[in-house]
Amino acid sequence: MSVQRQPYMVVFEENTGFKDVYGGAVGMVAVEAMRIIPDSDSETAIVFSHPVGGGSFLPMVNALAHAGHHVIYANTRFRGNDTALLMEKCVTDLGAVIAHAKEKFGYQKIILGGWSGGGSLSLFYQDQATGKRLQQTAAGDPYDLSNANLPAANGVLLLASHVSRAVTLTEWIDPSITDEALELDELRAERDQFRDRFMRALADAENARKRSDKDRREAENYGGSKLARDMLPIYDNMKRALETASEEQRELAGPLIEGVELTMRELLNVFNKHGIELILPEVGDRFDPQNHQAMFEAPVEGTKAGDIIQVAAEGFMLHDRLLRPAQVGVSSSPFN
């Protein structure tokens, strides 16, 4: 029995926002097809397709046509190139060819011929044509089959078909190979453990640095506090010596007293250089328990309780710390 081969193309619109094959206008898809028919008419067509392979000259395709069957081989847009292949788009291409065969050639029944890898495509197509349709790919990319024209087939014919490539490869993997998923989980757990230890060590190092800086600053500012406190009586004695020197003594021992005054000024300069400052309360000021030490209390006319009535000795601050409080006398109550 002689057969005719009729190559043709099916062109349809598809607005996905991107072009995933080489050539052609954006928004348009063109797929190749070939009809292999005998001289007799038929209401039924056997439609073969494969995600990437062209099979219009396969022995089984030829044999079915020579046996009196009408056969259509539908190539997808990914023929010969599966680098960008999406099975969901293969379903759309197959649906376009089937819809065209029904409308153009008048076929009433369609039998899907699943040859080799086309078996999984045929079953996937029939599932989407008759069941709930996908709205995205397995990878999560948007591709909605809800409104695609997918006429359901009347039957599925599987010829030397096999499961998907992903399942086949999984079954062929040497079982002695370590499960990479488990190994990856272990590596992630180890990574998280090291990250936690690193962050803790980093925090400890930062705290140690802060403590070290604080200790260094305190050592610089207050390390000499004991020596400074021991120097205060020297200041007191020199001040008292200068205050008690009479005019006659200043005339008789002028150079000596001047030397004491110079020494006193130099001592104050050294105090100032190292952050030691005088606390100089005056009579009439209010008593401050933070900076003053009450040496005695007495009622004094014209004062209020808590007023300073006498300054016995100045106080000193070392930076922001009290080195010695000013020694004062305090009014106890209004004078009666």
For the ranges 56-70, 219-233, 320-334, the one whose mean pLDDT is highest? 56-70
> At residue 211, does pLDDT exceed 70?
yes
The pLDDT of 96-109, averaged and rounded, is 97
Q: Looking at residue 334, what is its pLDDT?
A: 63
Q: What is the mean pLDDT of the chain?
A: 88
| pLDDT band per the 50, 70, 90 thresholds, residue 204 | very high
pLDDT score for 106: 96
Reported as a pLDDT band with limits 50, 70 and 90, residue 47 is very high
For position 1, what pLDDT does the model report?
76
pLDDT for residue 245: 86
CA distance 330 to 286: 9
Q: What is the CATH number of domain 3-172?
A: 3.40.50.1820
Contact 315, 278 (CB under 8 A): yes
What value does the mean pLDDT take over residues 145-167?
86
Contact 44, 38 (CB under 8 A): no
Q: Across the beta sheet with 28-38, what order do the strands follow?
A: 3-13, 28-38, 70-75, 44-50, 109-115, 155-159
The pTM of this model reads: 0.51
> In the predicted model, what is the mean pLDDT of residues 12-25?
74
CA distance linking residue 171 with residue 39, whole number of Å = 45
Architecture of domain 275-336: Roll (2.30)
Residue 133 has pLDDT above 70, yes or no: yes
The larger pLDDT score, comparing residue 138 to residue 24, is at: 138
